[in-house]
Amino acid sequence: MRALLIIDVQNDFIPGGALQVPEGDHIIPIINNISSKFDVVVATKDWHPVGHKSFAKNHKKKEIGEIVELNGLPQILWPEHCVENTDGAEFVSSLNTEHIDAVFKKGTDTEVDSYSGFFDNDKRNDTGLNKFLTLKGVTEIYIAGLATEYCVKFTALDAKGCGYKTFLVEDATRGVNIKPTDVQNAVIDLKVSGIKVVNSKEII
């Protein structure tokens, strides 16, 4: 059983959004083209409370991009984004959601960020994604979405850690690239971890 995980294809992450990923909208036709090829399709949403402590605005005298310590973990401070029940947190309208079997929300705990679709960054909270996929009999996971070096990367690593054969659909992801080599380094990290990097044409 093969599953496609669509990570955080939300309004705030595409050009014009609060935390825009360059060319983030370019992956949507690719995802729409491959989603029908899978037995199970799951999507994640960043779904933050307005007071989330990953937001720079919630720290006095701190700027976007600064690194702080949040409950013992290093935390990059982001602009406010994907606040629950706002338009910025909704799926991009051009994403075909017809084949999506379930949606898992992450980043709901004010005190800790959640890059992975499986767990919060401190691994204390579980989204329920692993249980869902296990009950569906999924053995292989293909990952697409935003952003490559954050939520896509950590979802892929956790998928591998949970025992799934894991693939990154490289042309169906885009990254923030705060540093010019961030995406490149993330892909290398995934390959070293045993995650196979593929192109969407190989799926079709």
Q: What pLDDT does 82 receive?
A: 98
Q: Which of 8, 46, 109, 113 is catalytic?
A: 8
pTM of full prediction above 0.75: yes
Taking the CA atoms of residue 136, residue 137, residue 139 and residue 143 in that order, the dihedral angle to the nearest 10 degrees is: -10
**pLDDT, mean over the chain:** 97
In tens, the pLDDT along 14-25 reads 999 999 999 999
CATH for 2-48+85-202, options being 3.40.50.970, 3.40.50.850, 3.40.50.300, 3.40.50.1000? 3.40.50.850
In tens, the pLDDT along 26-44 reads 999 999 999 999 999 999 9
The Cα 114–Cα 188 span in angstroms is: 22
Whose CA is closest to 158, among 103, 114, 118? 118
The token duo for 118 is 């499986």
Helix (H, G, I), strand (E, B) or coil at 162: coil
Residue 121 Cα distances to 111, 151, 156, angstroms: 10, 10, 13
Q: Which of 53, 105, 106, 153 is catalytic?
A: 106
Per the annotation, the verdict on 162 as an active-site residue is: no
Per the annotation, the verdict on 151 as an active-site residue is: yes
The Cα 33–Cα 128 span in angstroms is: 27
In tens, the pLDDT along 111-165 reads 999 999 999 999 989 999 999 999 999 999 999 999 999 999 999 999 999 999 9
Q: Which of 113, 151, 153, 158 is catalytic?
A: 151
